[in-house]
Structure 1
Amino acid sequence: MKTIRKAQPNDEIQIMKLIHELAEYENAPEEVINTPEQLAIDLFQDQICDCFVYEEDGEIRGMALYYISYSTWRGRSLYLEDLYIQPKYRRGGIGQKLFNRLIEEAENLNVKRMDWQVLDWNEPAIQFYKKIGATLDGEWINGRLFFD
C-alpha cells in the first residue's frame, strides 16, 4: 500500500534513516548530530516540528519535515526544512504529492508564506521547484550559528 500521512510515534527511526541519506547526498554526513530519540521528542512531545511521510508497503520512503515560522512582514509562515525521497522512488510524482500535501497544510494553518532552501548545485531539486512555479531567490545570504 502507498500512502502519504502524518508521521506518528515509532516513525522516528525510519525518518532519521532518511535524514542520514539526505546528509550523504548533500556531502555532509558528519553534520547530523540529531538522534531518533530527540526527533521523537521534537515531533511528538514538544511538537516543534511536524512531518509528512510517504510510506510504501510499511516502509517510509520519503518525507517532508516542516515547522511554523514567522515573518514580521507577512505573519505566520510554514518552513519546509527537508523534502527527501529515496532515489529508487523518485520520478514517480511522490515529491509533487508530498509538496501538494504541504500546500494543503499551509492553507489549513492559514499561513501567509511557505519557505525552504535548495542548494545551488542541486539541479534536480531546482528544476522541480521551477516546474511548480516557485520563486527561487538568489538575493538573500543565509546566516547561521551552531551551538553544541
Structure 2
Amino acid sequence: MTIRPATPADVPTIVQLVRDLATYEREPDAVRLTEEGLETALFGEAPAVFAHVAEDETGSVQGFALWFRNFSTWEGVHGIYLEDLYVRPEARGQGLGKALLRTLAELAVERGYARVEWAVLNWNAPSIAFYRSLGARPQEEWSTFRLTGEALAALGAPADVPEP
C-alpha cells in the first residue's frame, strides 16, 4: 500500500469516495460537493484543505483522508482537523485507515502541531473501536455545535443599522 498526497487526477475518485461515505453515514442525498469545487479547494491559489489517498498494491485508490489545519489557543499551536477518513469496505482490514491516520500524526509531530482530532457518529461502533485501538479518546465533556442552513443565513444576514 502507498499513502501519498492527493493530486488533481485523484479528484474524481475522492468525490466518489465522499459520496460512498455519505451513503455509509446514512446521508446519501446530502453531498453537494463537485469535482470542480474540490479541485479548487485542494489545488487552487490558496488551498486551505488537504487530502491524502491510500492506494493498494495495484495503484488503485482505496481510501482517503481530507483535513485542514486548526489552531489551539490554549496550546498556542496548530493542529490537524480530520474532516473525512474513508476506506472502501472491500479494502478494510488491510491497514489503510491506520496508515492514513499515521501519516497525519507524522505530519503533526513533524510540524509541532498539538493534536489530530475529528468527529465520529455515535452509532459508528466499528470506527469508534478502531480509533480507540490507536489510542484516540472521545472528548466526552464537549458537544459539537453546527450553524447551517436557515439559522446560518439568519445570523449571517446584515444587521439592521439604524440611520443617524
Task: Using structure 1 for the length normalisation, give the TM-score.
Answer: 0.93
1:37 matched residue in structure 2 = 36
Letter of the 1:30 counterpart: D
1:53 matched residue in structure 2 = 53
1:94-142 Cα deviation digits (max 9, x unpaired): 1111111111111122211211011110001100111011111222111
Letter of the 1:3 counterpart: T
Task: Using structure 2 for the length normalisation, give the TM-score.
Answer: 0.85
Structure 2 Cα separation of the partners of residues 49 and 110 of structure 1: 18
Structure 2 Cα separation of the partners of residues 122 and 108 of structure 1: 30
Structure 2 Cα separation of the partners of residues 123 and 47 of structure 1: 33
Structure 1 Cα separation of the partners of residues 40 and 111 of structure 2: 22
Structure 1 Cα separation of the partners of residues 73 and 32 of structure 2: 31
Q: Which of 88, 105, 129 matches 1:103?
A: 105
1:63-107 Cα deviation digits (max 9, x unpaired): 011110112112211101111000000011111111111111111
Deviation at 1:59, TM superposition (A): 2.3
Structure 2 Cα separation of the partners of residues 117 and 43 of structure 1: 21
Structure 1 Cα separation of the partners of residues 9 and 142 of structure 2: 37
Deviation at 1:41, TM superposition (A): 0.5
**SS of residue in 1 equivalent to 2:93:** coil
Runs of 4+ in 1 over 2 A off after TM superposition: 56-59
- Report the identity percentage: 39
Q: Which of 84, 87, 102 matches 1:85?
A: 87
User: Is 2:70 aligned against 1:69?
Assistant: yes
**SS of residue in 2 equivalent to 1:61:** strand
Bigger radius of gyration = 2
Structure 2 Cα separation of the partners of residues 37 and 50 of structure 1: 15
Structure 1 Cα separation of the partners of residues 55 and 9 of structure 2: 13
Structure 2 Cα separation of the partners of residues 145 and 26 of structure 1: 20
Q: How many pairs does the alignment contain?
A: 147
Structure 1 Cα separation of the partners of residues 7 and 111 of structure 2: 19
**Which stretches in structure 2 are left out of the alignment for 5+ residues?**
154-164
**SS of residue in 2 equivalent to 1:20:** helix
Q: Could you tell me whether the CA contact under 8 Å between 2:104 and 2:116 is conserved in 1? A: no
The higher relative CO (CA closer than 8 Å, separation ≥ 6) is in 1
**Which stretches in structure 1 are left out of the alignment for 5+ residues?**
none
**SS of residue in 1 equivalent to 2:123:** coil
Q: Which of 137, 142, 161 matches 1:135?
A: 137
Letter of the 1:48 counterpart: A
